[in-house]
Structure 1
Amino acid sequence: MTRLLVLLLLALSSTSYGFRMLEGEFTANKTCDLWCSFKKHRNTGNHQTAIGSIYRIMGDNKPGGEWLQIRDKDNSIRWVNKTCGNIKINKPIPFDYFILSISWQPTFCKEQKNKPECQSSNTLFALHGLWPTTDKKPYPAYCQGQIAKPFGHYTTLPLDQELSKKLSSNMPGTQSYLDRHEWHKHGSCSGMDVKTYYTKSVNYFQWFSDSPVAKQLKSHKGKIVSSKQVKQWINQWSASQSISLHCIKQNNKTVLKEIRLYLKKELPVSPNSQSFFQYAKRSNCPDSFYLTP
């Protein structure tokens, strides 16, 4: 009966808050209220955390949300703000493959003219991110209990000078703290530490940038290309089921916005043709599209 009640409460939480089940431990480092309902600020019995005490994590209100659901010492289910302690997630959130997202930077900068990285850049390809992905929703995000924040509100990532330089060169968005956002939202789900995550991200991005596909696209900037032709370039390098193209409407033209590489979950540090995951969601680009210069 008790187990049935717990499952019912979790189901209700999921419906109301986008609840995500997690397994782990929360260690309180300050005294905070333990709410029956954080939305209504209801704390029946005036429960509070005890500094140094460890609580079992049941889940959070949503990926990137501010609230953890825990079991209090009397076995009741309560909500606590994530800033009230340290979070340790014991069971990784599963995923099936990676998506390496690569922006066609001129299209991005047409939309985001005021971004720092768009003021003086002449880059065509830009690293957006490396995303652990599954076909089942919700997609993995903020997997170590992180809170979603504006990009610049995250602290500097602990990367050495050489890797930081490489990352800045390949991900112009570091000027807008994109690297911090991508690590907390996606890298935290990768099973890698931050250095390994960005080493592989840069290596795979550079692998694509040096590919015949990238060279052909660069040589056709400012021109209309056919999807059929681009697929032929892709097939010469890899397999069409491992790369997808994504377009948007911009100034009454259909333009390339993003290229996605689908990669295996077990990524070696050095990319090779065996790294591809033979699956790609259908490209949304039409028969022909424009490569913004």
Structure 2
Amino acid sequence: MTTLIPSSTYLLLSAIAALVLFPQTSLALEPVAGAFTASKSCPALLSTKKKTNPGNIMLERGRSYETLGLNRVGGDKLLIKIPNAPKSSQRWVALACGQLTGTAAKSATPKPSSEKPKATSKSLESKNNVLALNWQSSFCEDLPHINECRQLNKGRLKQAARELTLHGLWPQPRANEYCGISQSLKVQDTPSNWRRLPDPKLTRRTERALEAAMPGYQSHLHKHEWLKHGSCYKAGGGAEEYFDDSLYLLDEINSSRVGRFFRDNVGHKVSANDIRAAFDAAFGKGAGKRVEIKCARDGQRKLITEIWVRLYGTISRDTPIADLIQAARPARKSCNGGILDRAGLQ
């Protein structure tokens, strides 16, 4: 004999099943099948309402994830599966942080609407920026006592001795600093106090990359850069995206003909025109005019200390750095040339 289940009981059982399968989702989950490939480093949240992220899990650019569902038909949040994530492998991410493939792409297509779209985190992200890069050997002539300079001068930072290193990524105009930072925290932002500043929320992968690309990490420079400049970058992925974008730009320059020019001329005197010509060769005619060269005196010598690269546009691995440079306004030279100092006190 077949026992009929009342409709109210059936709905209750369905709801319980949904909670078991998707403990952190709403019951309005729109199931999708396919894959999601991350194009940005964004947080993977356990709960979108509470903004909880156990383990500080971030999307890895270029990695594909299994999709589970959207927050609604044509929604803007996607539930994906991240194996071994603490608490739950099911995490919510912003749909704008990547691309869907397969059936998922069709499910995510939004319905036409006459409503004015709301501003997204991407639309708020700083588009007018300066990428500040150090020539570490010159910097260390003036501060040989700090830890990273002692390491450099002992020959332990071989990469920093022959390549440009990261100082910071600065939203413009220059007065655009300390966004949303309390006055009490701003007054603590001095070099002698950097170690006491709050740690930016970063994955271990990004921390390791910063340790190699930013020698000043040993002196907690990254904390200062995030507080003063990163707070105004307004990337949806927070500090992780800010530094990930900075590292991407640095890698693009060091792996280009600009990086080769610097490696080939360590210890030699070069002109600002030579440096700008290297940028033209790497990123197109006119790119060099968007580069400002900074110098400092060391006794009778003039040393090249920094390169400031102007950028305009949304920074993404999908946007060539050449396009970002070409779209920016021209920069002054500041310095006509100097020596690319060798590591060690001269």
- Point out the more displaced range, 105-114 or 139-148: 139-148
Q: How does 1:84-233 map to 2 (within 5 A)?
A: 97-121=128-152, 122=158, 123-124=160-161, 125-134=164-173, 139-146=175-182, 147-148=185-186, 149=188, 150-192=193-235, 193-233=238-278
C-alpha contact (below 8 Å) 1:155/1:180 kept by paired residues = yes
- Matching residue of 1:86: none
Residue by residue, what CA displacement relative to the aligned partner does 1:111-145 show, whole Å, maximum 9, x if unpaired?
A: 111111111224132100000012xxx61111012
Q: Considering only CA atoms, is the larger Rg found in Structure 1 or Structure 2?
A: 2
C-alpha contact (below 8 Å) 2:124/2:234 kept by paired residues = no
Quick one: distance in 2 between partners of 1:183 and 1:269? 21
Quick one: distance in 2 between partners of 1:126 and 1:161? 19
1:248 paired to 2:287: no
1:93 deviates by: 9.8
Q: Give secondary structure in 2 for the equivalent of 1:175.
A: helix
C-alpha contact (below 8 Å) 2:210/2:247 kept by paired residues = yes
Quick one: distance in 2 between partners of 1:183 and 1:260? 18
1:245 deviates by: 1.1
Paired residue type of 2:298: Q
Paired residue type of 1:132: P
1:214 deviates by: 1.7
Q: Give secondary structure in 1 for the equivalent of 2:208.
A: helix
- Identical-residue share of aligned pairs (%): 23
C-alpha contact (below 8 Å) 1:221/1:291 kept by paired residues = yes
Paired residue type of 2:148: E
Quick one: distance in 2 between partners of 1:107 and 1:280? 25
- Matching residue of 1:60: none
Task: Give the superposed CA RMSD.
Answer: 2.1
- Point out the more displaced range, 228-237 or 191-200: 228-237
Quick one: distance in 2 between partners of 1:215 and 1:94? 31
Quick one: distance in 1 between partners of 2:313 and 2:143? 32
- Matching residue of 1:236: 281
- Matching residue of 2:315: 267
C-alpha contact (below 8 Å) 1:268/1:275 kept by paired residues = no
C-alpha contact (below 8 Å) 1:104/1:257 kept by paired residues = yes
TM-score, normalising length: structure 1: 0.63
Following TM superposition, where does structure 1 have runs of at least 4 consecutive aligned residues deviating by more than 2 angstroms? Answer: 92-96, 226-231
Quick one: distance in 1 between partners of 2:231 and 2:151? 31
Quick one: distance in 1 between partners of 2:125 and 2:139? 31
Paired residue type of 2:179: C
- Matching residue of 1:279: 329
TM-score, normalising length: structure 2: 0.54
Instruction: Give the number of equivalent residue pairs.
Output: 198
- Matching residue of 2:338: 289
- Matching residue of 2:43: none
Q: Give secondary structure in 2 for the equivalent of 1:292.
A: coil
Pair 1:95–1:236, CA change in 2 (3 A)? same
Gaps of 5+ in 2: 1-122, 153-157
